[in-house]
């Protein structure tokens, strides 16, 4: 399940669709994701920030943040960070099995 919400910002259908489309690719990196929250925020001086929270079973949630002037670029950056976290976690799980 993917939830897109906004703080101090109107989430347009285009932004919602873009964020959802990007977030849908995350289970490709780790298949035990139960829920993905995308929180968009509009701060001072046209600064946007994006926070992605992925609830994964048996682990604390993974959180990726990005901020900048372009909201779409922030979404991309946060998705990249989340992909990296999920990939690293998957590698750690795989390697643990071989070290026994």
Q: What is the mean pLDDT of residues 74-79?
A: 97
Helix (H, G, I), strand (E, B) or coil at 21: helix
Q: What percent of the chain has pLDDT over 90?
A: 84
pLDDT, one tens digit per residue, over 50-68 is 999 999 998 999 999 999 9
pLDDT for res 96 = 78
pTM of the model: 0.91
pLDDT above 70 (res 21): yes
Q: What is the mean pLDDT of residues 33-42?
A: 96
pLDDT above 80 (res 100): no
pLDDT for res 75 = 97
Tell me which residue of 33, 36, 35, 20 sits closest to 75, measured CA to CA: 20
Count of CB atoms situated within 10 Å of the CB of 4: 18
Count of CB atoms situated within 10 Å of the CB of 87: 12
Helix (H, G, I), strand (E, B) or coil at 76: helix
């Amino acid at each position: 399940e993917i939830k897109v919400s906004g703080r101090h910002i109107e989430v347009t259908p285009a932004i919602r669709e873009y964020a959802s489309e990007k977030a849908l690719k995350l289970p490709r990196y780790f298949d035990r994701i139960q829920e993905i929250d995308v929180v968009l925020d509009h701060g001072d001086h046209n600064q946007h920030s994006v926070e992605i929270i992925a609830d994964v079973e048996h682990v604390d949630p993974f959180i990726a943040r990005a901020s900048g002037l372009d909201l779409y670029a922030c979404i991309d950056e946060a998705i990249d960070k989340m992909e990296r976290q999920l990939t690293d976690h998957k590698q750690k799980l795989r390697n643990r099995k071989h070290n026994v």
